[in-house]
């Protein structure tokens, strides 16, 4: 079955320190992987994606993620965290199922708290 796992409910880092938000996936075939961020009472904003090519993907607001096929991971990273990065982060995988295309399956979300 297709699935996405975010093992950490919450990540706390100090401002200026590097941050990592973890994501692992299980999907048949080649995955399309995404990271989204959600601020309170708002929809999701796209951060970055991996489709093919270079395993290191750079996205919005200084975020990047590394696709690791052997570990089936797609961890989100940022070299220097900002307080304004505090939000809920979702990893997602897109797959085709039963003729229905482009379904996005989301992880459970990780709440990032960046402390001043």
Partner 1 sequence: GAVVSQHPSRVICKSGTSVKIECRSLDFQATTMFWYRQFPKQSLMLMATSNEGSKATYEQGVEKDKFLINHASLTLSTLTVTSAHPEDSSFYICSARAPASGTTEAFFGQGTRLTVV
Closer residue to partner 1, CB minimum distance, 86 or 106? 106
CB of 81 to partner 1, least distance (A): 22
What is the smallest separation between the CB atom of 35 and partner 1, expressed in angstroms?
A: 10
> Binding residues for partner 1, per CB under 8 A?
32, 34, 36, 41-46, 49, 51, 90, 94, 100-109
Please identify, using beta-carbon distances, which residue of 25 and 107 lies nearer to partner 1: 107
| Nearest C-alpha neighbor of 112 from the set 92, 91, 90, 86 | 86
- Residues with Cβ < 8 Å from 53, sequence gap 6 or more? none
Query: With b meaning 16 or more CB within 10 Å and e meaning fewer, what string describes 27-44?
Result: beeebbbbbbbeeeeeeb
CB of 106 to partner 1, least distance (A): 5
Comparison of 5 and 15: residue with beta carbon closer to partner 1: 5
Q: Which is nearer to partner 1, 21 or 107 (CB)?
A: 107
Min CB(101)–partner 1 separation in Å: 8
Question: Which run of H or E residues covers position 44?
Answer: strand 44-50
Sign of CA dihedral 4, 50, 45, 98: negative
């Amino acid at each position: 079955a297709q699935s996405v796992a975010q093992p950490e409910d919450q990540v706390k880092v100090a401002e200026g320190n590097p941050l990592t938000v973890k994501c692992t996936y299980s999907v048949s075939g080649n995955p399309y992987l995404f990271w989204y961020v959600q601020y309170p009472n708002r929809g999701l904003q796209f951060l970055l994606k991996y489709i093919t090519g270079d395993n290191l993907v750079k996205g919005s607001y200084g975020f990047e993620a590394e696709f690791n096929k052997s570990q089936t991971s797609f961890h989100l990273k940022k070299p220097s965290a900002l307080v304004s990065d505090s939000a809920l982060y979702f990893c997602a995988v897109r797959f085709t199922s039963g003729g229905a295309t482009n379904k996005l399956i989301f992880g459970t979300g990780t709440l990032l708290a960046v402390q001043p």
